[in-house]
Amino acid sequence: MSGKSDKMGTSEKEFLAQAYTPSPTVPERPGSFGQLRKAPESFLEKSTIEAVSQSGVDENRRRLLRTSFTTALAGMLGAGLSARAAAAEGDPDILTLPPWSKSLGNAVATNPYGQPSKYEANIVRRQSPGLTQTAQASVSFSPLQGMFGMITASGLHFERHHQGWVDVDPRRHRLMINGLVSKPMVFTMDDLMRLPSVSRIHFIECGANTGMEWGNAAVPTVQYTHGMLSCSEFTGVPLSLLLEHAGYDKARGKYVLAEGADGSSMTRTIDIERALDDVIVAYGMNGEMLRPENGYPLRLVVPGVQGVSSVKWLRRLEVGDKPYATKDEAIHYVDLMPDGQSRQYTSIQEAKSVITSPSGGQRLMTKGYYNVTGLAWSGRGTVKRVDVSFDGGRNWYTANLEGAVLPKALTRFNIGWVWDGKPAILQSRVVDSTGYVQPLKRQLKEVRGTRSVYHNNAIQSWRVMESGEVENVQIA
Amino acid sequence: MFKLPDGFTRHVGVLLMMAVLSACGQGGDEKAEAAAVTPPVASPWQSGYEDIGRTAKPAEVAAWDIDVRPDFTGLPAGSGSVEQGEEIWLARCAACHGDFGDSNKFFSPLALGNVTPQDIESGHVAALNDPTRVRTTLMKVATVSTLWDYIDRAMPWNAPKSLSTDDVYSLVAYLLSLDYIVDEDFVLSNENIAEVQARLPNRNGMTQDHGLWKIDGEPDVHNTACMTDCESSVEVASSIPSFARNAHGNLRDQMRSFGPFQGVNTSEEQGEKMMLASEDKAPAAPKAGLAASAPMDLLTSNGCLGCHQVDNKLVGPAFTAVAKKYADREDAVAYLSQKIRQGGSGVWGGATMPPMAQLSEGKADEIASWLAQ
């Protein structure tokens, strides 16, 4: 038990009595306290409550209950019985100083590489159970529901590996440029990091992001519907500089093949217009070197194009006159159309947006004001506008775009909303700098059917139920 | 910011502000304005890096330039028979892909017999129009070079780039024979691979006629930015069924434990078990500890959830089924912990559970305790 509960002198019996007191699903704001707390029974599982009711408290369950009470204590003090008891005086979290206000803090460099608070343990990358049969050719999704702003913390950047991730020794890493060049070349990391560099903020989105949702609502939260999406500041050498450096054949060079140094040696074809535009041979990410899962020490970043082209652990670039039809552009990453033909070399990630909070699996705790927030992006340019609907697309209101609005980067949007406690359906819709408007799910299906897996950029719908629970739905 | 006294010229004001700002270590718009007063000087060294990097030696290019294009540029000379391919396949490929390339245990099937002689004739695989058919590699691939290139660079799964050139020819030949694209006595070589390409069932099944290749490509789906009265009726066509609410684990434990949008508890029963497993932990992080993210994280990071779900049978049994089966066994924790670390097969059917040797005994015990409770 914490010191606080001892001070309160409240017996376990009283806690039990309190735990059994039913409270409304959507609790009212308790008195003048600033922070809304969940009802204490949220910390006790229903089956435990039932079991205790039936057979009393044996030693094992007592231990369990004690644990839950300890953890629930902070919440309980702000609501219900203890709130009522203490209401006359004020918030116990104010009146009783917490331990961190009455003790010496930790030394500098206690964590030489800083870590998130232990209270943030829920905001991590996750796999979608059953999506892939192996964990090496798989995906971990970014927890968009818990993220802010436009930059993805490096440790939360989504992962997509085709044959596992590797930690490459940068002193043994080489980049080769060959093919239609006047001089095939080799660079060490020392060489690359001496060359002129650029730092640019870009999103990387897997072509299969939202791919599970073509036919029906399939996964519960925005982490799984849209979490193959991240945005970072990348630092490196412009690919155009390296191609010029090697003397690429300007007449015949139409494509660049990028190849990884890992076991899969992933290969992808980049057309020369993209390659000469804004592609970066990157080593830096958000102020530090790339993380191993994201291609340390060298990766390609192909802004606006599906993530598979941003080849990780980049070891080779070949200039050629024809596309390469590699495994990930001839067997996977081809979009099956209703007529049985597959679209090959589908690359550009068209404009897309999603509300990240509130979103599936979350609960609005009371009626009243909420800041509705989300992300918008376009592989063809910048976000021009984001509109948000609260009634399933009947009426729309324009959201605020926050901070820098950059080409081929995530853009954060916010809009205020007062929930009246009635069912609602929240949607967001982006318009990009080309004038393209993010499509409805049915418009997308009319053209592409439901079996193309890739490039699902439809408007996402979140239904808010009267209980405050938010769920993933699709509108007819 | 302070207000400038009347009579100061803008120039003097800026200089004064600069002095104040540099004294307190701040910057901002004023600094940028000051920079405009003194024109920037471009570096004269815009080039000069031509000597960075070196020429690749022919042997180096040969060692790494292994790609094979659809027109067979890059294909090394060699050959291999279906018969040799079968032998290598059974030794090095069948464990994952099945003896006949039809297993979906670890990867999508490569061959399933969905390819017909008519497809080989037309170059379009008709079964791709049937949503009930599993789409196999041999139904989809339009270029035989892709098979050769990929097997050569990335297979076998756990030992990529360990096959000889002739091994790769043999394996491609064997794979093609599984859907009768080549006969069982066929010998594939760089000489006749173009003839095989002409028989590839889906060779005409790709199109590049779309707007997603180029950045200025024409979009194929069009919406308008309507603002009011846009839909006459709004009907929910699809939502997550209630029995699947917890299929991704307890969503309560996947959201921040404070703030306006906390997670919905989708698994009361599971939540209780997790709490028991972690009850000895310091109660420092209220819900995170409760979440016993411990077992869930272990299950996730060790790939358990690839084959097991909590309530449903997948490749392996449901965790609830395991818990039920060993509910009365006294040494359940020790038994399950050992099974987790050593793997096995036969208890729940033919599927093999690989040994989870990377787990320490303590970690395996943690999962086993959770299961046993």
Whether residue A401 lies within 8 A of chain B, CB to CB, comes out as no
Predicted pLDDT at A290 = 98
**Beta-bridge mates of residue A429:** A387
- Domains A138-343 and A352-473 belong to one CATH topology: no
Predicted pLDDT at A82 = 53
Quick check: A365 and B125 CB within 8 A? no
Alpha-helical segments (H) within A116-217:
189-194
CB B226 within 8 A of CB A117: no
Cα dihedral sign for B87, B88, B92, B95?
Answer: negative
The string of pLDDT tens digits covering residues B28-81 is 455 555 556 789 998 888 888 989 999 999 999 999 999 999 999 999 999 999
Mean pLDDT for A348-365 is: 97
The 3-class SS string of A404-443 reads: CCCCCCCEEEEEEEEECCCCEEEEEEEEECCCCECCCHHH
Q: Chain-wide mean pLDDT for chain A? A: 87
Kindly report the CA angle at B245 between B240 and B250, in degrees rounded to 5? 145
Percent of chain B exceeding pLDDT 70 equals 77
Mean pLDDT for A178-207 is: 98
Percent of chain B exceeding pLDDT 90 equals 54
Q: Which residues have a Cβ under 8 Å from the Cβ of B40 and sit 6 or more positions away?
A: none
**Could you tell me which chain A residue has the CA closest to the CA of B206?**
A342
Strand-strand pairing, A314-320 and A174-179: parallel
| Confidence band of B275 (pLDDT split at 50, 70, 90) | very low
The string of pLDDT tens digits covering residues A141-191 is 999 999 999 999 999 999 999 999 999 999 999 999 999 999 999 999 999
With a cut of 90, say whether residue B260 has pLDDT above it: yes
Extract the tokens encoding A374. 């989300």
User: Within its chain, how far is the Cα of B69 from the centroid?
Assistant: 24
> What is the 8-class DSSP label of residue A181?
B
**Could you tell me which chain B residue has the CA closest to the CA of A37?**
B258
* Domain boundaries defined on chain A: 3-101, 138-343, 352-473
Phi first, then psi: what are they for A183, rounded to 5°? -145, 105
CA–CA separation, A225 vs A142, rounded Å? Answer: 10
Phi first, then psi: what are they for A266, rounded to 5°? -45, 135
Q: Which residues have a Cβ under 8 Å from the Cβ of A304 and sit 6 or more positions away?
A: A202, A348, A349, A378, A379, A380, A408, B215
CATH architecture of the domain A138-343 equals: Alpha-Beta Complex (3.90)
CB A351 within 8 A of CB A432: yes
Per-window interface: A 76-115 vs B, CB < 8 A = none
Quick check: B251 and A318 CB within 8 A? no
Per-window interface: A 151-170 vs B, CB < 8 A = 162-163
Quick check: B276 and A64 CB within 8 A? yes
Predicted pLDDT at B37 = 79
Quick check: B269 and A455 CB within 8 A? no
With a cut of 60, say whether residue A18 has pLDDT above it: no
User: Within its chain, how far is the Cα of A464 from the centroid?
Assistant: 21
With a cut of 90, say whether residue A7 has pLDDT above it: no
Where is pLDDT greater, at A53 or A268? A268
- On chain B, the residues whose CB falls within 8 A of the CB of A396 are 225-228, 230
**DSSP letters along B141-191, please?**
---HHHHHHHHHHH-STTSTT-S-HHHHHHHHHHHHHHTTSS-TT-EEETT
Phi first, then psi: what are they for A374, rounded to 5°? -170, -170
Per-window interface: A 442-471 vs B, CB < 8 A = 443-444, 446-448, 451, 455, 461, 463, 469-471
Q: Chain-wide mean pLDDT for chain B? A: 82
Whether residue A58 lies within 8 A of chain B, CB to CB, comes out as no
> What is the 8-class DSSP label of residue A155?
G
CB B153 within 8 A of CB B63: no
How far CA A25 is from CA of A129, A469, B265, in Å, comes to 30, 10, 12
Q: Which residues have a Cβ under 8 Å from the Cβ of A375 and sit 6 or more positions away?
A: A144, A150, A226, A229, A353, A354, A356, A410, A411, A412, A413
Whether residue A271 lies within 8 A of chain B, CB to CB, comes out as yes
How far CA B57 is from CA of A184, A316, B63, B372, in Å, comes to 8, 14, 10, 61
| Confidence band of A62 (pLDDT split at 50, 70, 90) | very low
How far CA A171 is from CA of A188, A264, A281, A376, in Å, comes to 8, 21, 17, 38
CA–CA separation, B73 vs A324, rounded Å? Answer: 10
Mean pLDDT for A334-350 is: 97
Alpha carbons within 13 A on the beta-carbon side of A39: 17
Instruction: Match domain A352-473 to its CATH number in 3.40.50.920, 1.10.238.10, 3.40.640.10, 2.60.40.650.
Output: 2.60.40.650
Mean pLDDT for A272-284 is: 98
Closest approach of chain B CAs to the CA of A285, in angstroms? 23
Structural domains present in chain B: 1-44 (no CATH), 66-197 (1.10.760.10), 256-372 (1.10.760.10)
Extract the tokens encoding B358. 């990377």
**Could you tell me which chain A residue has the CA closest to the CA of B211?**
A346
| Confidence band of B241 (pLDDT split at 50, 70, 90) | confident
With a cut of 60, say whether residue B13 has pLDDT above it: no
> Who among A136, A146, A451 is closest to B131 (CB)?
A451
| Confidence band of A134 (pLDDT split at 50, 70, 90) | confident
- On chain A, the residues whose CB falls within 8 A of the CB of B309 are 129-130
Predicted pLDDT at B242 = 84
CB A294 within 8 A of CB A312: yes
**Could you tell me which chain A residue has the CA closest to the CA of B310?**
A129
CB B335 within 8 A of CB B343: no
Predicted pLDDT at B12 = 42
Predicted pLDDT at B79 = 98
**Could you tell me which chain B residue has the CA closest to the CA of A278?**
B215
C-alpha dihedral, A456 to A458 to A459 to A463, nearest 10°: -60
Cα dihedral sign for B152, B156, B162, B166?
Answer: negative
Rg (CA), chain A: 26
CB A268 within 8 A of CB B149: no
- On chain B, the residues whose CB falls within 8 A of the CB of A75 are 286
Q: Is the ipTM of this complex over 0.90?
A: no
* A315, amino acid identity: R
Residue B322 three-state SS: helix
The string of pLDDT tens digits covering residues A394-414 is 999 999 999 899 999 999 999
With a cut of 70, say whether residue A321 has pLDDT above it: yes
With a cut of 80, say whether residue A29 has pLDDT above it: no
- On chain B, the residues whose CB falls within 8 A of the CB of A451 are 131
**DSSP letters along A196-244, please?**
--EEEEEEEE-TTTTGGGSSS---SSHHHHH-SEEEEEEEEEEHHHHHH
Q: Which of A56-65, A287-296, B159-168 has the lowest mean pLDDT?
A: A56-65
Phi first, then psi: what are they for A474, rounded to 5°? -120, 140
**Could you tell me which chain A residue has the CA closest to the CA of B277?**
A64
- Count of A–B CB contacts within 8 Å? 384
> Who among B237, B300, B306 is closest to A474 (CB)?
B237
The string of pLDDT tens digits covering residues B296-308 is 667 766 667 656 7
**Could you tell me which chain A residue has the CA closest to the CA of B49?**
A195
**Could you tell me which chain B residue has the CA closest to the CA of A398?**
B227
Quick check: A220 and B255 CB within 8 A? no
Per-window interface: A 308-327 vs B, CB < 8 A = 315-316, 318, 320, 322-327
Element (H, E) at B284: none
- On chain B, the residues whose CB falls within 8 A of the CB of A415 are none
With a cut of 80, say whether residue B14 has pLDDT above it: no
C-alpha dihedral, A289 to A295 to A296 to A298, nearest 10°: -80
Strand-strand pairing, A400-402 and A383-389: unpaired
Strand-strand pairing, A342-343 and B206-207: parallel
With a cut of 90, say whether residue B262 has pLDDT above it: yes
